Structures are given as structure tokens and as C-alpha cells.
Amino acid sequence: MGVAEVALGRRNIYIIPSKTALGLVVIILLLFLLGVNFQNSLVYAVSFWLLALLLLNIFYTWRNLAGLVVTGVGIEPCFTGEKAVVEIALACPAKQPKFALQLAWPGQDALQVNLATTSSARVKLSHGTLHRGLFRPPRLQVSTRYPTGLALAWAYVELEVQGLVYPRPVAQTFAQTGEHSTTETEDGVEIAEGSSDFGGIRVYRPGDAPKHIHWGKYAQTGKLYTKAFVDYASHALWLDWQSLPLQGVEVRLSHLCSQVLAFHQEQRQYGLKLPGKTIAPGKGEAHKAQCLRALALYGVDDG
């Protein structure tokens, strides 16, 4: 990990002339040789004037980066395969505006920023992700060719930020079996053949326990009736790692991630069971974030 705030200066800014600048150097040398050969003071003056302009340009290109302060602010969570959005804070001295600053990672998105009218700004830059877990962006390259493009100055910045990359949500289809016929009620899921709450009267069936026979109804009608009882399961649902008939860690995590998003969308109450970790049933944004974090960091050292 790097430091939280990086100030660019003499120790971390690199600068080289561009191809155009090298061509200008060749022209200056040719003019100087012509001045020496013909003893022409005007040619001397032109060659030294061009050399001074080139040196001044290199200095101002370096100065356009010097004093810039780069800070990593944070990374928005994303799913595997999506781009993680990194927020970066830029600041410079009030009397040293910065122009045409290029922020980029190799092979990723790039962004150009100007700090001409303000001394600070926050920008967002994205980087692709390949794996779930904690995403730490590589070194950020900050560069500039201002003011004329005759020189390139750049610096590398380590951003001390990390963000969560959730598993890719992919719902798997598989057969689900149950032992009881269930009915949804206001009290939860009604499980037939229970023993807790009175659920009504039904016709007697051979094998019914004598203690459940409704003798009052028998006295009225002369027919046997049985008192039925039901149990109520909670509306809360459990997403259980062990109950999934799926092979592979990432496949299970992807399915659980999909279920978390689906239950959250339906505003249902649910809990999550992973090997070594259990999250009690709940709902809402905070609960969803807690479950997704657990899935993202399963088997990963979060530091």
C-alpha cells in the first residue's frame, strides 16, 4: 500500500523531450554550425533563442505537475467483470493552476483535468475487475504535455484505497423439494399437520389421535370430526450454502449473490449462512450490503 496523500515534486516527476523537441534540437545544432561557418551573429541569436524557448518549455511542463497533490478517496463497490469507479481528489497551490493533466492506468480509461479556475477537484476514473474480493488499483500515471507538447512529464501515484468486488450475480436452476405442503398466511408460512395452533375442524380419518377428536361436534351431528392444528414458519428466508446442490465455490457465491439481490428487490426478510459465518435475517440496504460483503470476502483475507 502507498501513502494516503502524494505531493508531486522533484523526487517523483520524470520528464523527457518529445520527438518534435528532438527535431528542434537538430535544427538548433544546424543553425549553430551555420553561424560558426559564416560568422553570422544573427544566426547565433536565432539558435540561442530557440534553445532558450525549448528549455523554458521543459521547465513549464515540469512546473505544471509540481505541487500537485493526489489523494485516493474511495472506490464504489461493483460486481465481478464490471468497472470499479475510483474517486480521486486533486489539489494544487492557489497561484499555480494546472492545465491538461492526464490521469490513466495502462490499458484502461483515461481522463483529462484542468485546475485553472479552482485549486481542488474530485474526479472519478474506472478500472476493470476480474476477480471478486478486495480491489486495489495499480499505480496511477499522472502526466502532462502542457504548454506546447515539446516535453512529456509524468509521475506514478500509489492510491491507498480499496473497494469491494462482489461475485457476479448468476441465478442457477435446480429442483427444490419440500416435506410439507405450505400456504402463505399473515402469520408466515402455514405448515399443515402441525401441533401448535388450532386450524379448524376436518372429517375424521382413520389413525387420528383420540385426543384430537372433537366430541362436541360428535354430540351435535353424530359423526366423528378431528381438530386440526397448524404450525407457522417465519416469513424470513435463509440462503444456506450447505443446502445448495451446486458444485464450485464461485458458482455457489454467484447464485447466492443473485438471490440476495432478488430478495432485496422483493423487500423480503432473509438471512445468509456461509461456512464459518451466519448473518441473521433482516432486510434493507444495510443488510444487503452486509450480505454482499460476506459473499465478496468469502475465503479472502480482508487485511
Q: What is the pLDDT of residues 206-227, one digit of tens each?
A: 766 777 777 777 677 877 777 7
Amino acid at 158: E
pLDDT confidence of residue 191? 41
Peptide bond into 147 cis (omega under 30): yes
Lowest-pLDDT range of 140-144, 236-240, 249-253? 236-240
Q: Which of 40-44, 81-85, 114-118 shows the lowest per-residue confidence on average (mean pLDDT)? A: 40-44
Banded pLDDT at 40 (limits 50, 70, 90): confident
pLDDT at 196 over 90: no
pLDDT at 190: 41
Is the pLDDT reported for residue 188 higher than 80? Answer: no
Q: Average pLDDT, stretch 122-150?
A: 94
Look at residue 67 in the predicted model and tell me its pLDDT. 92
pLDDT at 33: 87
- Band of residue 95 on the pLDDT scale cut at 50, 70, 90: confident
Q: What pairing do the DSSP bridges indicate for beta strands 182-185 and 110-115?
A: unpaired
CB atoms within 10 A of CB 31: 20
Look at 204 and 102; give whichever has higher pLDDT.
102
Express each pLDDT in 273-299 by its tens digit. Answer: 999 999 999 989 999 999 999 999 998
Give the model's pLDDT for residue 173.
73
Say if strands 277-282 and 225-233 run parallel, antiparallel, or are unpaired. unpaired
| Cα distances (Å, whole numbers) of residue 115 to 91, 105, 173 | 8, 20, 53
Using the predicted structure, report yes or no on whether residue 245 has a pLDDT greater than 60. Answer: yes
The residues, ordered by sequence, that sit 6+ positions from 40 with a Cβ below 8 Å of its Cβ are 34
What's the average model confidence in pLDDT over 106-134? 92
% pLDDT > 90, the chain: 52
Which pLDDT value is given to residue 222? 74
State the pLDDT at residue 261: 95
* Cα three-residue angle 186-192-194, rounded to 5 degrees: 95
- How is the chain split into domains, by residue range? 1-166, 182-233, 237-296
Higher-confidence position of 35 and 148: 148
Which residue has better confidence, 227 or 262? 262
Residue recorded with cell 475465503: 299
Residue 163 has pLDDT above 70, yes or no: yes
Q: Which residues of 230-256 are buried (b: 16+ CB within 10 A; e: fewer)?
A: bbbeeeebebebeeeeeeeeeebbbbb
- Confidence at residue 199, expressed as pLDDT on a 0 to 100 scale: 53
Model pLDDT, residue 229: 58
213/173 Cα distance (integer angstroms): 44
The reported pTM is 0.72
**250 or 215, which is more confident:** 250
Q: Residue type at 53?
A: L
- The residue-averaged pLDDT of 141-150 equals 93
Computed over its alpha carbons, how large is the radius of gyration of the chain?
A: 36
Residue 105 has pLDDT above 90, yes or no: yes
